[in-house]
Structure 1
Amino acid sequence: MIKKQNLQLYFFLLIFIVVAILSMMVLFPFINAIALAFVLAIAFKPLYYWFNRHLKSWPALSSILTILVIFLLIIIPLTLVFGQIVRETRDIALSLMGADSSLLLSGWMTKINELVGSFLPGAGFDLASYTGRIAEGLIQGVWENFSFVTSSTLSLLGLILDAFIVAITLFFLLKDGPAFKRSLIHFSPLDDDLDRQIMAKLENTINAVVRSAFVVALIKGGLTALGLVIFDVPNVALWSLAAGLASMIPGVGTALVFVPIIIYMFFTGGIIPALGLLIWAALIVGLADNILVPYFYSRGVKIHPVLILLSVLGGLAMFGGLGFVFGPLILSLFFTLLDLQRLFVTKEEAS
């Protein structure tokens, strides 16, 4: 009898594992959209509760209104900005492939050679010989891959499908969130109290990471855009979004964007605009960096900046653009679970 029960158990586990793997394979093509819906559901749950409270507990309508607010405030503006970025990227690629680009680059090379030669006379420094092949390869790569980016990543059908999956998943997560949480607690082998503590801490971590990343990127991207407009720098949307994303990279931040722009302005727009943008980046954006980032990220899980940097890079490799949020979020959840394992160990020792 015991052997028969063991055989039945092993057979059931085999079926369960196979079906679980197949289920993951079915959902894997939409994993980014589903994960984004989970994050948005947790981040905007207070707004959903506000609608539900004022609508006399009408969860379906409250979910729809919450989704509309999310799309109006986040998805649609980001789509418009992304479209502008594509146009600006195309213009940059076309200008780099234009006939005048070689003359412009040649002028830059000459100025840099003269600047280095004034500090290191007789060194025989020739920047063109070092960067010519690299620049040519980068320009050619941008040009060859631009059609791929516009035809696949920016596919209208793909965007509509992803938006639909996010919306429908978000609708049911908001509407049936409490029931979904009760189901997780029911199927979890842990004690119910420990399950609730884990869910509460994970929810707080997601809120801290997502809201911190969004608010910091929005403010610093906006300050960058204002500075670029003041000093008449082209392609404002592209550089502002890049600055907002770079602001989430510790140790580098918006300097990753400002340094090449200031160098560009120094050789094309004059010394005074370049110095003005340098002062703006150091004082205004830098001050916001020193105040906002510690304030918001101190409310979440304490993680070393090097690990945050690696999580951002790894997230980009795994999830694409969403990796800027998903990478640090996954790492924060991991450290939260490490902290929570003490609760589990304490519970086991007490029993």
Structure 2
Amino acid sequence: MNKEKQISGVAIKQVALLAIILVLTGLICFNLALFIPSVLGAITIYVVCRKYNFYLQEEKKWKPWLSSLVLMLASLIILILPIYFIADLLIEKLGNAQVYMAKFNVFLDKIHSYVYEQVHFDILSKENMDKLKSSAGKVSTSAVSGTFNTLTVVMSMYFILYFMLDQPRRFERILTSSAPLKRSNISLIGDKMRKLIMANAIGIPVVALGQGLVALIGYFIFGAPSPVLLFALTAAASMVPVVGAAIVYIPVCIFMIAEGNTGPGLGLAAYCLIVVGLTDNLLRFTLLKKLEDIHPLNTVFGIIMGMNLFGFMGLIFGPILISLTLLLIQVYRNEFSENDIPELEFPDKNNDDNKIDLIV
């Protein structure tokens, strides 16, 4: 009876080894926390470039170093520079805090006064107005302070990415052999992560740039103030689900009407609601749905968490981390509750494991 209640030596060894692994992993993450965004970014770009890397190295017989450098340069031009341009533009405008905040305060006061005169409703009390102005000042200050950090992350990210692209088969073999999971679950994680990364790294920036460019045309046509800055703000705001770019163009339209430009203000409002809104729906329900159907709450909370952890790059990494956490919960259930595994999604144990792709 006592022997049955005793914990086996194997279980004790497993728990002890797991504890050591967790402690060492915690120490590594704590001391290398600055490089976590770089690792996430390198993995993201690796997944995007993976197919082309294998094509160049294995079919075209390019040298690994040449293939790696070409793909790194292409990813820098296509993926990183557009996002960095928007971020840098916002930082440049927000960086001149004294001039910017003076204009921003006038902008807010004008909107508040106009709305109050029209509907006699105090949309923003003096206390809330002060809070909003204070929050905007803090955002501008933190944006400027994060410039150097962003450049450091990008440089270290490409340093890590080079070694991933240089020997891709070895890199993937190390990942799959290190994961203490069934091959079917490794395949599930790989396939799901590929879709999540493509949706966040390709889909969301494309939707943002598309909306920003379409809105920019309207800003120039109807004479909106600072159209290039508004383009950057619209592109950044479009990443936020539900409200999206409306949190930028609606106040701008009200401001233009309050300034006496009623015709252009109403015209811009109609243009943004119809054309920009149609662009948003078209891109989201075609491109994003095709890549991966991500729940809006994942994106909202992912962006909030990602911005706190990684700054501007958190716009992409935050939603990925939220989705990955939910995916790992599903994998945990599949790994240890085999009776609940759907037969269509997870094949029977007797099936040949070699038929399952290893990663991504």
- Opposite residue 225 of structure 2, the aligned amino acid is P
The residue that corresponds to 1:297 in the other structure is 288
- Alignment pair present for 1:85 and 2:78: no
- Alignment pair present for 1:134 and 2:125: no
- How far apart in 1 are the matches of 2:142 and 2:227? 24
Q: Is the 8 A contact 1:247 1:253 kept in 2?
A: yes
- How far apart in 2 are the matches of 1:21 and 1:161? 23
Uncovered stretches (5+) of structure 2, i.e. residues with no partner: 1-6, 351-360
Structure 1 pair 173–236 and aligned structure 2 pair: CA distance change class (3 A): farther
The residue that corresponds to 1:153 in the other structure is 146
Structure 1 pair 269–71 and aligned structure 2 pair: CA distance change class (3 A): farther
Counterparts in 2 of 1:1-351, with a 5 A limit? Answer: 12-52=17-57, 56-90=61-95, 93-94=98-99, 96-97=101-102, 111-117=114-120, 131-140=125-134, 142-143=136-137, 146-147=140-141, 149-150=143-144, 152-155=145-148, 158-192=149-183, 194-268=185-259, 270-337=261-328, 344=335, 345=338, 346=341, 350=349
- How far apart in 1 are the matches of 2:277 and 2:136? 31
Calculate the TM-score normalised by the size of structure 1: 0.80
- How far apart in 2 are the matches of 1:205 and 1:108? 39
Q: Which is worse superposed, 216-225 or 181-190?
A: 181-190
- How far apart in 1 are the matches of 2:316 and 2:179? 27
Residue 91 of structure 1 deviates from its aligned partner by 5.6
- How far apart in 2 are the matches of 1:146 and 1:194? 43
Q: Which is worse superposed, 16-25 or 163-172?
A: 16-25
Q: Is the 8 A contact 1:301 1:336 kept in 2?
A: no
Determine which structure has greater relative contact order: mean sequence separation of CA pairs < 8 Å that are 6+ residues apart, divided by chain length: 2
Residue 168 of structure 1 deviates from its aligned partner by 0.6
- How far apart in 1 are the matches of 2:278 and 2:139? 37
- How far apart in 1 are the matches of 2:55 and 2:19? 45
Q: Is the 8 A contact 2:185 2:331 kept in 1?
A: no
Q: Is the 8 A contact 1:262 1:274 kept in 2?
A: yes
More helix by share: 1
- State the aligned residue count: 336
- How far apart in 1 are the matches of 2:49 and 2:101? 43
SS at match of 1:44: helix
- How far apart in 2 are the matches of 1:335 and 1:126? 42
- Opposite residue 279 of structure 2, the aligned amino acid is A
Structure 1 pair 23–219 and aligned structure 2 pair: CA distance change class (3 A): same
- 1:102-156 CA deviation, whole Å, 9 max, x = no partner? 6x87766554443225xxxxxxx667xx533433444455457745542x2123x
SS at match of 2:32: helix
Uncovered stretches (5+) of structure 1, i.e. residues with no partner: 118-124
- 1:37-72 CA deviation, whole Å, 9 max, x = no partner? 111111122343454367523111111111112223
Q: Which is worse superposed, 191-200 or 54-63?
A: 191-200
Structure 1 pair 93–138 and aligned structure 2 pair: CA distance change class (3 A): farther
Identity of aligned residues (%): 24
- Opposite residue 255 of structure 1, the aligned amino acid is A
CA RMSD of aligned residues (A): 3.5
- Opposite residue 228 of structure 1, the aligned amino acid is Y
SS at match of 1:298: helix
- How far apart in 1 are the matches of 2:302 and 2:137? 29
Q: Which is worse superposed, 316-325 or 283-292?
A: 316-325
- How far apart in 2 are the matches of 1:247 and 1:55? 39
